[in-house]
Structure 1
Amino acid sequence: MGTTALAYHCKTTAKMPNNRCMAEQRAASLQRKLSKTPDLYKGYKDFMAGINGKGYAVKIPMKQLSREDGRVWYIPHHGLYHPKKDQDADLLHFLWWQDGDPNKPMEDYRMTVHLFGATSSPSCASYALRRTAQDGGSKTTPEVVETVLRNFYVDDCLKSVDSEDPAVALAKDLRHLCASGGFGLTKYVSNSRAVLSSIPKEDSTTEVKDLDLNHKQLPMERALGTQWCTESDTFRFKVQPQDKPATRRGILSIVSSTYDPLGFLAPLVLPAKLLLRDLCREKRGWDEKINSGQAQKWMKWLADREQLSKFMCRDKSNRQGLNP
């Protein structure tokens, strides 16, 4: 299995101040917190031992600690971690206690992988995935390469094909292509039992791993914020009751919480957005109560919104879906 090495995104002229003192203060604060919460300490210690044991971070030799070019930066403890470029590793220093014991001296470490949550990480991960598809394109089919280039959204892949056999083949070829670049595709789900049966259990979602595909109903999955009922191949929506005041602020909060990236609910959401437009035109304050007529419209909309759990949008294409 190969890996993709990418430089850490940083201006070439950037010089960072020495922030080791701040990192020490944050570590001292963390030490006090861990001393009061044994369970948190155990989890934190196990996590740090894991990233060190797997080589995601390494202890810095003493002779490499005296760097004076402004290209060293300590990451205050907040708890995060994910590809690799040795010359940028000094931008990802951190402090940790010897043997994970807060009563022992702190030691300097540096990350060997990109941090989960860093501003540059999504673009690095996306580039690495696309580069893997391009480099391995000669060893697979054009459809597999096209799937990687066009059907991934960050780390989610949504793909549909005409029948089960192509879906089984595509899932297998996708795993092989991505593995060549160090990417392990997991959490597969499909509306086809034949496709799910072809996926190794360890690569399936938690809900599918122990499922009897011959008898039990397929689970409900979330795809980019929308619920996908794989058994009936329909999209559904779950609405949480919200107790918000009938003000411009409260209305905006509830309307914005209706996540509908595909626009299925646009006709339902439109009346509430028109009400918001009217409130803006009237220049009502954010926390000013709306009038009785507007309140009546708002209460009716809220009642209609509660019926969303009964709404479903059926896939009319009858294609086999694949979602790793």
Structure 2
Amino acid sequence: MRAFKQTWKKATLQVTFHRQKDTGWYIPHYGLVSPNKPDKIRRICNAKAPQSGTSLNDKLLSGPDLLGNMLGILLRFRQGAIAIQGDIEAMFMQIGVRQQDRRYLRFMWRQPNSPKLEVYEYQRHIFGARDSPACANFVLQQTAKDDIEDHPNSLEIIQRTFYMDDMVASFSDAITAFTTAKDVKDTLKNGKFNLTKWCSNSHEDKIMFKTKDRRNLDSKTWTQRKFLSFVSSFYDPLGIISPFLIRAKILLQELWKHGREWDKAISGDNGKAIKEWYNTWGHNGTSSILRRIIGSNSSSSIHQDNQEPRNHNSFSHGKNKSGTLTSNNNSQTRTASSTLRGKD
């Protein structure tokens, strides 16, 4: 209830049912609790929910893709000696919706222990609407353009280090990092954006990635559906674990070639190969590589806890390339050198 009230304070206004001639759209909504934040309720608006064969998102345009290139942002994040990160608080809630469009962002609500059903309209863009990311990024960049005279470097920093509401950047020294962060924060204040949750690198300057405890999978039988779901659960934009994932993708291709049923247990050589692949990663551990890829101490390798690196090289990113499924398997793994070739 408290989370909903905070949302109303930031982004909604109350209307009534008496405007019968006024057409609009009512958005289903519900609360979602993350296992990592059990005390916080995230309010979810389902703009994909259909009514009479259509939904709100079906009628909205996504707009231009103004997101920065994630690979380029992450590679630049690994260049400088001083790394910083920041987050814009409730970014979408800072972007207003035109008065005539708010009736399409309605939702119903009944207060606890009250028989009265109330209707509210969002005044701000919602998370889940197709046009919200483009609108938010446009306003973010326009805010920097409007402040170009007072802070001339903010626009380039925002375009090259922001991915949606997250700032991920690195600089050659602490003074440059501090002054740049202050300038960007001051610029964004003009657009009512609060850049917060700052953090920087410590003595142990590594990129850490943790694998969840998957031991419950050992007691179950692998099926094609379960295996595909497991492989797809990895999100690795830098391709750090691409040598590990490419083996799984080859195994999936082998399964698809034989037209195996989705929920049938995988046995024989394929079943054995899947279990061997799964056991090579370990059940639950933290792996890491050095964040910085340029500098005197940039040599890094991928290794897990309590394991010494087997080799040393400057790892920037990897890429999986799975070829068309034919009789000759075309899958391969590419590992990039430390030369920065990321798209801006």
Q: TM-score, normalised by structure 1?
A: 0.62
Using the TM superposition, give the Cα deviation of residue 300 of structure 1 relative to its aligned residue in structure 2, in angstroms.
1.6
Residue pair 2:213, 2:284 contacting (<8 A) in 1 also: no
**Structure ranking higher in strand proportion:** 2
Residue pair 1:245, 1:251 contacting (<8 A) in 2 also: no
Structure 2 runs not aligned, ≥5 long? 32-42, 46-92, 297-344
**Structure ranking higher in helix proportion:** 1
Matches of 1:279 and 1:291, distance apart in 2: 11
Using the TM superposition, give the Cα deviation of residue 167 of structure 1 relative to its aligned residue in structure 2, in angstroms.
0.8
- Label 1:141 to 1:252 Cα distance change in 2 as closer, same or farther (>3 A): same
- Post-superposition Cα deviations, 1:285-308, rounded to whole Å, max 9, x if no partner, equal 223333422233222211111178
Q: Which of 136, 151, 154 in structure 1 is aligned with 2:147?
A: 136
Corresponding position: 1:250 with 2:223:
no
Q: Secondary structure at the match of 2:142?
A: helix
Aligned alpha-carbon RMSD (Å): 2.8
Matches of 2:113 and 2:283, distance apart in 1: 53
Corresponding position: 1:66 with 2:19:
yes
What is the letter of the counterpart of residue 152 of structure 2?
T
Using the TM superposition, give the Cα deviation of residue 48 of structure 1 relative to its aligned residue in structure 2, in angstroms.
4.3
Structure 1 runs not aligned, ≥5 long? 1-43, 193-229, 320-324
Partner of 1:26: none
Partner of 1:196: none
Q: Secondary structure at the match of 2:213?
A: coil
Matches of 2:235 and 2:108, distance apart in 1: 40
Partner of 1:158: 168
- Label 1:108 to 1:134 Cα distance change in 2 as closer, same or farther (>3 A): same
1:3-22 matched pairs, under 5 angstroms: none
Residue pair 1:133, 1:149 contacting (<8 A) in 2 also: no
Partner of 2:237: 261
Matches of 2:11 and 2:275, distance apart in 1: 53
Partner of 1:317: 294
- Post-superposition Cα deviations, 1:160-185, rounded to whole Å, max 9, x if no partner, equal 11121111111111111111111101
Q: Which of 125, 130, 133 in structure 2 is aligned with 1:122?
A: 133
Larger Rg: 1
Partner of 2:321: none
Q: How many residues align?
A: 231
Using the TM superposition, give the Cα deviation of residue 96 of structure 1 relative to its aligned residue in structure 2, in angstroms.
4.1
What is the letter of the counterpart of residue 183 of structure 1?
F
Q: Which of 150, 155, 176 in structure 2 is aligned with 1:145?
A: 155
Matches of 1:157 and 1:304, distance apart in 2: 34
Using the TM superposition, give the Cα deviation of residue 128 of structure 1 relative to its aligned residue in structure 2, in angstroms.
1.4
Residue pair 2:213, 2:283 contacting (<8 A) in 1 also: no
Percent sequence identity over matched residues? 31
Residue pair 1:239, 1:306 contacting (<8 A) in 2 also: no
1:1-324 matched pairs, under 5 angstroms: 44=1, 46-52=2-8, 54=9, 56-60=11-15, 65-66=18-19, 68=21, 70=23, 72-78=24-30, 80=43, 82=93, 83-84=95-96, 85-97=98-110, 100=111, 102-103=113-114, 105-142=116-153, 144-192=154-202, 231-241=204-214, 242-243=216-217, 244-306=220-282, 309=285, 311-315=287-291, 316-317=293-294
